[in-house]
Structures are given as structure tokens and as C-alpha cells.
A = this chain, B = another copy of it.
Amino acid sequence: MIRTALIFSFMMIVFFAQAQELSLMPVPQQVTVNGQKFRVRKDFSIAISGNANDRLYREASRFRKRLAERAVLNMPAWTVDRRNDGSMASLVIKSDHPGTVQLEMEESYSLDVKGDGIRIEAASDIGAIRGLETLFQLLSSDKDGFYFQGVSVKDKPRFAWRGLLLSQPYHFMPLDVIKRMLDAMALVKLNVLHYYISDDQAWTIESKVYPKLHQQASHGEYLTQDQVREMIGYADQRGIRVVPEVDLPGHSTAFLTAFPELASIPRKYQLQDHWGVFDPSVDPTKTRTYEVLDTLLTEVASLFKDNYFHIGGDENNGKDWARSDSIQRFMAKEGLPTTVALQNHFNKKVRDILRRSNKTVVGWDEVLMKVMNSDSARNAFESGRYDQLIHPSVPKDMVIQSWRGMEALLASAKNGYRSILSKGYYIDLVQPTSYHYLNDPYPEMNSEIIPDSEADLNRFESDITRKVKEGKRLLTPEEESLIIGGEATMWTEHVTAETLDSRVWPRTAAIAERLWSPSSVRDVPDMYRRMDRITIQLEWVGSLHIRNRTMMLRRISGQEATGPLEKVVNLIEPVKGYRRNNKGDLTKFSPYTEVVDIAIPDPRELREFNGLIDSVLLPNRSKKLNDLEREAKLWRSNHAQVLSLSASNPNLDPIVHHSASLSDLSSYVEDYVRMRRSSKKPDVAWKAKFKTELDKASAEYAHCDLGVTSALRKLLN
């Protein structure tokens, strides 16, 4: 089923060039523009035919409401008249049968917008709902009013699993926050919310079988079972699955706070406030462990109706197991040579429990991989013996979530396991959107990917990259079809309900496109052009990613007018990767209200500046030189205003620092403009001074980088 879908997507002819003036995100498999306009008036009506269910009626009604709000239309009602036979309707939706929100749900649809009517056809209502989102993105206006752009679209997703992970134990997101995430996800056609229930810091849903879990291990922050059901119902309404994860046997301090008797080492267990990997681990040798897990996981499994259940399995460091004599004895007796083998034993037992609830199990790549990043791994890879990389006894129906490197994805596929990719989609690491966007679940596509840190440049990965560059095919089409999708991971150590939106959006829209659109859609400037439009549409469904940043600037400055501060914040970026918590002093109770929390990766203003530098470097760009000169002058005058705003606001220091750098750099930029105008070459001394200034300005300060420096370095050549 999956395989057929993927092959089909490859065969499709993508008329992407014709769609350039459109701003669809994700780009559909096939679009043709017909130049017509369907005018939107307050009598805009919808008729639904076929065997549709309530979900589609509700979404169609919501569509009308959104349309009325955006286009300011005084409609008589938003509901869709069930008696409308479609002969007079503006939009006719035909849906063959009700869909089921599970893996491989039917999401294909066709959409035709002509001057005299709009038609959406889909096998299931879920496909029709995807089509409604595409239609909404076609809403445009001219001097005569609003209209839908005339197109013919045939669309279906490239991958079946397109997810966003939300880690609740780090910073808990209440139901209303999750709802606005789901609305935004639906807008860009994501279809899985990975609800990460438990970790060392908290257990975040109500348990009726073991109430002490939410009572003692949640700081009072959890979803009740009613709220969990409400969340799942809300997601279902948008065609989104909710996959739960109970991370075991490591990352389990919260569980052990309620069940200390099930720990590997007797110790006083209390909720962890710090971030990182900790030793506590469930004792996999006790019968009681499996009795409790059976009761608990069966409860969780019945609450979350999705067929898939994530059992975690990552970063269990094995230290507590090594420390325990009884566990060591158990391993000797059972012939389990390593803690990795013991974890594999544990995983099988947990899987057996969940199989009784009819769940297919998902795990982080540790559950599959015996070894990674070593010489033996490299040898196995080079010699094509992928089976040597993995535990042979892992059941074939298990889904592997690859987060540590491409090798896990390759090994899964080579050994017949389905997998989803998260490596490269770690949006908590505040990388530029382009990085995530170019990161393809098919390794073959990744020759141009930029490594996200030095650690990525390990030999194994560079071998993969080399092979790709050499044009080697790493996976057969059959193996590729086992890669069923990807997930953006929002680990919220440094992210609160206030900053969640701007850490997820709009960047995740680009990941959503990577997972939906044809692999050939990878034009970065065009992605940014469209993202800059989608970002404000995300606001209309409730996302606070723009709004909260301005509020946070007003809070940190204590005043309402923050223009000069905003100017600087939009030219800096948070430090990337794991650099922020370098002193390890950040906790659940730290304030995430600093300048670094307001800054975002690749802000539009910074991208525009980078573009300006690139055009300045082309010959005969005197107009662009003027723009550059004006920008440099602005940096200096803006800095004076920043200084006055920050006089009594010591927490604005990071902005003052980077603003001072901008001000210092501005004279070099003006020098450069002057020299270019007079066709003078910069001398060595000037270059040296400018370089020194750039090096100074490039230094991380208050967990922020000044984004303009890399573009400015181009002026040195």
C-alpha cells in the first residue's frame, strides 16, 4: 500500500514552474494554473455529496468561518446545509466514504477552481479536508475583492507519517496550546501529533489505575483523561493522529518517583528539574515491573486510540543496571552479555504487553541498532552487511524512529523495518529552515545538506554523503518504501507555552512540505517566499508565533514602543544546537523570557539582508549599494535609540551588545560602499581591521549570534 503510493508520486508530473506565482505550502504533487478567478461573496456556499461524515461538515463549516473572517464577509451562517444538492453551491465537495484517522489514511484529493465554481473530489473526507486547506491558501485579493486563484490540483502525500513531537514533561502545554498546534499542523497537512508523555521531569496525563503518577509526578500539570480524549477528538477532526510515547526504560525518573520499588537502584527518587540524560532506569528483571507496566500501558493504550504506540528506548545509559548486582546476576543467568541486550529483552516484554492492546510499537533507533558510529559499524556498512548493525530479534513490525544519524534509517530499510526520520528535523536546535527543508528522508537526496554540528561530520555519515555524491544508489525502491515519513521534534527544555509557537512555526511548515511534496521541490528561495506568506496565515488559526515575540519584547523592555529593539532582534539568532545550556544551569524553573527566547532562527529581515549583500556583490548594482548604505546608517542611528531605551533595563544588555556591533560594523559597510562607488579596491589594512571587527561581532553573546556577520564577510573578498 505504501509502496504503491510512493511509486505513484514519483511518476507524477509536477508542474511546479507554473505554480511559482502561487503560495501553496506544501506544494501539491501536481498543479496547473488556469488564470481564472472565483470571486468570493457573502453568499459563498458549500455542498457536500457522496458518503461524507460529520467531520467533513464541521471542517467545511470551519472553512466558511475562516473565509468570512479573512475576507470580512457577513455570511448568514457558517454551517453547511445538508440539503444543498450542489447545483447552486460555490464549492462542491465529493467524498466517497468516511476516512479513518490511522496510518495510511486516505489523503489524496483533486481540486478544481474555475471562474464559475470550485470542486473538490476525494476518496475520503480526510482527503477533502486536505483539499480545503489547499483551497484556503489560494485565497487572494485584488482591487475588486477576494477571489480564489484558478487552478487544477491533483494531490497526495509523498509520505504517510508526517509528525510533530511535543515533549510535555519539560514544559507542560495545556490543552488550549495543543489545540492551536493542531490547527496550525492541519494548515500545512501534518498528520501525526507525537504526544511525549513521560520523562525524568514529569508524567503528564492522568492515570486512573495509578493516580499517584499524576498526583506525585507531574507538578500538577497533566491532561485529565477527559482532556486526552478531547485532544484526540480535536486532532481526529483535523485528520491528525495522536501517537503516545511512554519513554522506557531510561528517561523514567518521573515513573520511578511514583514506583521507587521498580527502580534498578534503591534511591530517593524525585522529579528531575535539570535537563540531560540521567542514570535512573526501570529494573527489567523484576516480575512486578511488568505487572505494573501491563496495567499502566494497557490503560494508556486504551486512552489513545491510534494503532501505534511509542515505547521510547533512547538514551538509557545502562549505568544503574551496571551498578546493580541482582541485575548483573540476571544478565548472566539469561545469557544477556550487555546492557544493550538487556534493554532488548525489556523491549520485547513491553512490546508483548502492547500487542495485547493491538498496538504496533515504535521506538527510537536504539531499540534496533546494536552499534553505531564505530569501526565495526563502518565495516558493516562498507561491506553491505547491514544485518550486523542491528539486534536480530527485533520484531519486523516495529517502526524505528531515527534520530541519531542516517545509518539507523539505512539499517532499518536494509533489514526490512519501517522507519521515520527525525534526524535533521530537531527544531529545538534552532537551525535555519533551509537546513530542515533540504533534509530528505531518502538519503539519496541529501548531497547538499549542511551538517548541523561538528558531531555530524563523523566518518559514518561522511561515508554516506560521499556515496550519495558519487551518485551511488543506497536503497532499492523497495527499501525506500519502508521509510514511511518523518517527524519534527519539539523538545521543550528551553521552550515554554509562550515561546512554543515561535519555536515550531513557521519553520515546521517547511518540514511539512518536505514530507508531503515531491522530492524535487527543493527551491530554497521559493520555499522562503511561500513561508513568509504562510506564516501570517498560521496566525489566523491561532498561532502566537509572531504576537508573543512582540509581547516578550515589551515585557523585557517594560515599554510599549519597541521598534529599535525589534530591529536588532531580527538581525540576531539564538545559538544553534546544544550550545545554549553550556553551563548546565538551566532548569524547568529558569525564565525563558530572555532575548535569546525572543530571537528566532533565520528571521525574514536577516534573510533580506543576506539577499541584499548577494545582490550588492553582483556588478553594476548602484541602487543596491544605496540600500546597503541606508541600512548601515540605520544601524548607527538605531543604536542611539537602543541605548536610550535600555538605560534602565539591564536585561536588554544582549540587544545593546549586538546593536553596538552593528553600529561598529556600519562604518566598514559605508567604507565599502564608498570604495565600490569609486571602483577602489580595499587595502590590506582595511581588510584586516574589518575582519577583526567581524570576528569580534561574530562571538556568541548571551546565547545569541549576530546573524549578519557571515554575509558581511563576503565583502572582504
Taking a contact as CB atoms closer than 8 A, the residue among B78, B145, B555 that contacts A69 in the complex is B555
Interface string of A46-73 (1 = CB under 8 A from B): 0000000000000000000100111111
Q: Is the CB of A69 within 8 A of B593?
A: yes
Q: Is the CB of A76 within 8 A of B587?
A: yes
Q: Is the CB of B558 within 8 A of A141?
A: yes
- Complex Cα distance, B590 from A78, in Å, reads 9
Taking a contact as CB atoms closer than 8 A, the residue among B75, B546, B548, B650 that contacts A560 in the complex is B546
- Complex Cα distance, B584 from A239, in Å, reads 38
Q: Is the CB of A544 within 8 A of B546?
A: no
Q: Is the CB of B650 within 8 A of A144?
A: yes
Tell me if A468 counts as interface (CB < 8 A to partner B): no
Q: Which residues of B contact A532 (CB under 8 A)?
A: 560
Tell me if A594 counts as interface (CB < 8 A to partner B): yes
- How many A residues are at the interface, by size bracket? 35 or more
Q: Which residues of B contact A273 (CB under 8 A)?
A: 77
Most central of A65, A73, A77, A551 by chain B CB within 10 Å: A551
Query: Which of A89-97, A186-194, A314-322, A533-541 interfaces with chain B?
Result: A533-541
Q: Is the CB of A556 within 8 A of B76?
A: no
Interface string of A70-109 (1 = CB under 8 A from B): 1111111110000000000000000000000000000000
Taking a contact as CB atoms closer than 8 A, the residue among B559, B593, B604 that contacts A72 in the complex is B593
Tell me if A554 counts as interface (CB < 8 A to partner B): yes
- Complex Cα distance, B146 from A648, in Å, reads 9
- Residue of B at shortest CB range from A543? B551
Oligomer: number of copies: 2
- Residue of B at shortest CB range from A68? B591
Q: Which residues of B contact A471 (CB under 8 A)?
A: none
Tell me if A550 counts as interface (CB < 8 A to partner B): yes
Tell me if A523 counts as interface (CB < 8 A to partner B): no
Q: Which residues of B contact A333 (CB under 8 A)?
A: none
Interface residues of A in 87-137 (CB under 8 A from B): none
Tell me if A586 counts as interface (CB < 8 A to partner B): yes
Q: Is the CB of A559 within 8 A of B536?
A: yes
- Complex Cα distance, B72 from A556, in Å, reads 8
Q: Is the CB of B650 within 8 A of A591?
A: no
Tell me if A651 counts as interface (CB < 8 A to partner B): yes
Q: Which residues of A line the B interface, CB within 8 A?
A: 65, 68-78, 140-146, 174-176, 226, 273, 532, 535-536, 539-540, 544, 546-548, 550-551, 554-556, 558-560, 585-587, 589-591, 593-594, 604, 647-651
